[in-house]
Each structure stands twice: as structure tokens, then as C-alpha cells.
Amino acid sequence: MTDTTLLAPIELSDDDSDELIFVSSVKLGKRKSSDSPKPRKALKQTSLQAAPVTPTADRSDAAKAQLIQLGQSPGSGSFAIHPHIFDLEAAFTRKAAKPIIKPPDLDLLLFKPLMTPEGCSKVYSYLLNELPWYKVKYTVRKGIDIVTPRYTTVFGQDDTKTQALSRYKKRPRPIPYLLEELKRHVESISGATYNFVLCNFYSDGKDSISWHSDDEAFLGPQPTISSLSLGGARDFYIKHKADGTDKHHFSLQDGDLLVMRGKTQERYLHSIPKRAVARPRINITFRRAINTYGTDNYYKYNVGDGPIYRFRDGKMCLADSTD
């Protein structure tokens, strides 16, 4: 028998997780809220620091090669990733997935959890400390600028795998070894393949992602997107684009993997709203872009043209040239 959950509608708070809007660098307010805007505070020191990762003495050739490969990334600053390789196999729970479906549109699979607490802690610590992070600012209309309310970073290249790099606005970056290993495992259990890994870092409850769907044409029809949560729990909301009563929410906790399939992106919006208090959290989404528009889009909105941030001494800091 299939363990199928038919969701009952629930009430959503409309505490939306809006991006801050700036007009010609002067802040206007939030996108969907009538609240008067408050200045964005500097990041506080965060308390969630996972146990340090002990690098194995014997790094794999693939990881070593990648350290060299990742050394430069024109358009997004230069950075290096120092691979701490550990046995990921032991990090997975092998728990079966719970389907969450509402025919004909909602089609989710929830692995609760996919990863052990120890595995989560190692991967969280590695990603937070080793990846280059960005705080992307972009323009939606002339004079209207948005600052993404979380840190982001992305790796991968679309299906064309073109070597004619001049076709891209930014040079695609190879997927770091550990994320590639994670991707492989997620592919094997979700039955889909991916060529992009997008990471979000929500430093506290003020960080969020507003209502959206990942339904861009460059993902092809009915894309499968898998989303792994590490660190602090956050509420995940999903609502039907046409039927206002069809709303659901659940808590995504350390190690949970949510797979969104079928018509989910076409028919539903999802969000992680702001909260008064929330522990730091990393979210990793695995996606597949079929053409170069996908690559340009993902680097534009997850790397951008601003500086690199590094997580140092418990907080995000602007990286200096030696970092």
C-alpha cells in the first residue's frame, strides 16, 4: 500500500517574506507589505556553529583537481574551496519517503529525515565555512532595486554543456565535490537528474524567500526540484495559484529532503516566511536547466555582481582579497 497523505487546507499567515525594495539606492519599503520600512540591521553573530569537520589526510584526486579548477571565477571574484572530504554514505538514514499529494496538481515527496544529525552537522559546517556566499542586489524595473533577503551561492551548468563560455554572462562554476556527492544521492532517490546546485543561507528569522514558483521555461515542463534543509527548522508554505483555499504548510527540519514533482511548480507557489526567531539554516536545491538562459539566470540571481562573503568567527563577513 502506498503511504499517501492527502493534505487538508490550512490557514496561512500572510506574514510574507518580502524582499526589501530600494529606489535608486534609497529604500522604499517591502514589496507586498504596507508596513513602514525598517532599516536592515547588520547581521548579528550567529550561535549555530556545527562541529568542525576533520579533513581526512587522503583527499581524493577529484577534490584536489577541483581546488585548482575553482580558483578563479571571473565576474564573481576569485575564491578557493578547500575540500574536507568525509564519508557521506554514513550520513544518510535510508528512511522511506512520504508522498504528499493532492491530485491532480500537488506532488511532493518528503524524506523526513534524509540525513542523520551527525551527517547534517558536518555538511552544514562545510558549506557554511567553505563556500563563497553572496548578497545579491538586482533591478526589477528602472530605479527599483531588490536586495535578496538571504545569502545565496550556486554551482553548475545547463544541459548544453557548451564550452563556448562567451555565450554566458558569467562563467559557470563546477559543482564542489561534496555537493556533487550529495546530488548523486538525491538523484538516486528522487529519480531525476540535476545539473545545478543552489544554496541559500538564512542567517536568522529575518531572512526569507517570498512566494514564488520555479516554473521558468529553462527548467522544461514539470521539473523535479529537490530541496535539502540543514540547521534550524523553518516553516515551509505552499499554496495553489488559482485556488485560494488550497494552502498547506509544514516544518522543514535538519536533514529533511522535500522533492517537488509533476505539476507542483506550474500550479503552486511556495515560500519560507520571516519569523521573529529562527536558528540559522542552509537550504540546498537541486535542479536541471535545459538551456543557457538557465545558467545566466541562476548566476545573475544567486551570485550577482557584488562582493563575496565568507562565514568567519560566527558571522558573515566581506571576504578580503586573500580569502
Ligand X SMILES: O=C(O)CCC(=O)C(=O)O
Q: Is there binding between residue 224 and ligand X (CB under 6 A)? A: no
Name which of 160 and 297 has its Cβ closer to ligand X. Answer: 297
Say how far apart CA 54 and CA 41 lie, in whole Å: 34
By beta-carbon proximity to ligand X, the closer residue of 46 and 283 is: 283
In sequence order, what are the residues at sequence separation of 6 or more whose Cβ sits closer than 8 angstroms to the Cβ of residue 146?
Answer: 19, 20, 21, 22, 31, 137, 138, 139, 140
CB of 321 to ligand X, least distance (A): 30
Residue 274 interacting with ligand X (CB under 6 A): no
Shortest distance, CB of residue 69 to ligand X, whole angstroms?
25
Candidates 201, 236, 268, 286: give the one binding ligand X (CB under 6 A).
Answer: 236
Q: Which residues pair with 101 in a beta bridge?
A: 6, 107
* Beta carbon of residue 228, minimum distance to ligand X (angstroms, whole number): 9
Answer for which of 214, 215, 266, 305 binds ligand X (CB under 6 A) is 214
Among 11, 17, 33, which residue's Cα sits nearest to residue 273?
17
Nearest CB to ligand X, comparing residues 70 and 154: 154
* Shortest spacing between CB 225 and ligand X, in angstroms: 8
227 binds ligand X (CB under 6 A): yes
Residues 184-213 that bind ligand X (CB under 6 A): 198, 200, 209
CA distances for 125 relative to 50, 54, 180, 240, angstroms: 5, 11, 16, 35
**Amino acid sitting at position 134:** Y
Query: How remote is the C-alpha of 317 from its chain's centroid?
Result: 19
Q: How far is the CB of 78 from ligand X (least distance, A)?
A: 25
| Sign of the dihedral defined by the CA atoms of residues 291, 297, 298, 299, in that order | positive
Nearer to ligand X, 85 or 204 (CB): 204
- Please state, in angstroms and rounded to a whole number, the distance separating the CA atoms of residues 283 and 287: 13
Preceding amide of 113 cis, omega within 30: yes
Judged by beta carbon, residue 145 or residue 207, the one nearer ligand X is 207
User: DSSP state, 134?
Assistant: B
| Nearer residue to ligand X within complex by CB, 86 or 196 | 196
**Which residues contribute to the annotated binding site?**
200, 202, 212, 215, 270, 281, 285, 287
| Residues at the contact surface with ligand X, assessed by CB under 6 A | 198, 200, 209, 214, 227, 229, 236, 252, 270, 272, 283, 285
